[in-house]
Chain A
Amino acid sequence: MTAPVYNFAYLDEQTKRMIRRAILKAIAIPGYQVPFASREMPMPYGWGTGGVQLTASILGPDDVLKVIDQGSDDTTNAVSIRKFFTRTAGVRTTTATVDATVIQTRHRVPETALTESQVLVYQVPIPEPLRFLEPREAETRRMHALSEYGLMHVKLYEDIARHGHIATAYAYPVQVDSRYVMDPSPIPKFDNPKLSDCAALQLFGAGREKRIYAIPPYTRVTSLDFDDHPFEPYRHDASCELCAATDSYLDEVITDDEGHRMFVCSDTDYCEERRALGHGSAVASHGEAAQ
Chain B
Amino acid sequence: MNEQPLLIAEGLTKYYGRQLGCRDASFELYEGEVMAVVGESGSGKTTLLQMLSTQIEPSAGQILYRMRDGSVQDLWTMSEPARRFLLRTDWGYVHQDPQLGLRMGVSAGGNVGERLMAVGNRNYADIRATAADWLGRVEIPEARIDDTPRTYSGGMRQRLQIARNLVTAPRLIFMDEPTGGLDVSVQARLLDLLRRIVSEMRIAAIVVTHDLAVARLLSNRIMVMKGGQVIEAGLTDQVLDDPHQPYTQLLVSSILPA
Q: Kindly report which residue of chain A lies nearest to residue B116, judged by CB atoms.
A: A150
* Overall SS of chain B's interface: helix
Contacting B at CB under 8 A, from A149-172, are 150-151, 153-154, 157-158, 160-162
Interface size on A, residues (CB 8 A): 17
In Å, the complex CA distance between A229 and B127 comes to 12
- Tell me if B123 and A228 are in contact (CB < 8 A): yes
- Tell me if A148 and B107 are in contact (CB < 8 A): no
In Å, the complex CA distance between A164 and B113 comes to 17
- Tell me if A150 and B118 are in contact (CB < 8 A): yes
- Tell me if B117 and A154 are in contact (CB < 8 A): yes
In Å, the complex CA distance between A227 and B123 comes to 5
Report if A229-B124 is in contact (Cβ < 8 Å); known contacts: A146-B80, A161-B146.
yes
Q: Looking at the assembled complex, report how far the CB atom of B239 sits from the nearest CB atom of chain A, in whole angstroms.
A: 40
Residue of B81, B106, B107, B117 with most chain A CB atoms under a 10 A cut-off: B117
Contact of B109 among A151, A157, A227 (CB under 8 A): A157
Residues of A within 8 A of B122 (CB): 153, 225-227
- Tell me if B110 and A158 are in contact (CB < 8 A): yes
Residue of A146, A150, A157 with most chain B CB atoms under a 10 A cut-off: A157
Per-residue A-contact encoding for B92-113, CB less than 8 Å = 1, 0 else: 0000000000010011011001
Report if A151-B114 is in contact (Cβ < 8 Å); known contacts: A146-B80, A161-B107, A161-B128.
yes
Q: Kindly report which residue of chain B lies nearest to residue A152, judged by CB atoms.
A: B117
In Å, the complex CA distance between A228 and B125 comes to 7
Residues of B within 8 A of A158 (CB): 106-107, 110
- Tell me if A146 and B118 are in contact (CB < 8 A): no
Q: Does B186 contact A (CB under 8 A)?
A: no
Q: Kindly report which residue of chain B lies nearest to residue A224, judged by CB atoms.
A: B122
Residues of A within 8 A of B125 (CB): 228
Contacting B at CB under 8 A, from A109-157, are 133, 146, 148, 150-151, 153-154, 157
- Tell me if A150 and B123 are in contact (CB < 8 A): no
Q: Does B196 contact A (CB under 8 A)?
A: no
In Å, the complex CA distance between A151 and B88 comes to 12
Q: Kindly report which residue of chain B lies nearest to residue A166, judged by CB atoms.
A: B124
Q: Does B119 contact A (CB under 8 A)?
A: yes
Q: Looking at the assembled complex, report how far the CB atom of A18 sits from the nearest CB atom of chain B, in whole angstroms.
A: 31
Q: Kindly report which residue of chain A lies nearest to residue B81, judged by CB atoms.
A: A146
In Å, the complex CA distance between A83 and B145 comes to 53
In Å, the complex CA distance between A44 and B213 comes to 62
Q: Looking at the assembled complex, report how far the CB atom of B243 sits from the nearest CB atom of chain A, in whole angstroms.
A: 43
Report if A157-B119 is in contact (Cβ < 8 Å); known contacts: A146-B84, A150-B114, A162-B146.
no
Contact of A160 among B81, B103, B114, B124 (CB under 8 A): B124
In Å, the complex CA distance between A160 and B110 comes to 10
A–B complex contacts, Cβ < 8 Å, 6 sampled: A154-B106, A154-B113, A161-B145, A161-B146, A162-B146, A225-B122
Q: A157-B117, A162-B146, A228-B123 known; 5 other A-B pairs, CB under 8 Å?
A: A148-B118, A154-B106, A158-B107, A158-B110, A161-B107
- Residues of chain A having any CB pair with chain B under 8 Å: 133, 146, 148, 150-151, 153-154, 157-158, 160-162, 225-229
- In the A-B complex, the 9 residue pairs with the closest CB atoms: A150-B118, A153-B117, A150-B117, A226-B124, A227-B123, A146-B81, A154-B110, A157-B110, A227-B122
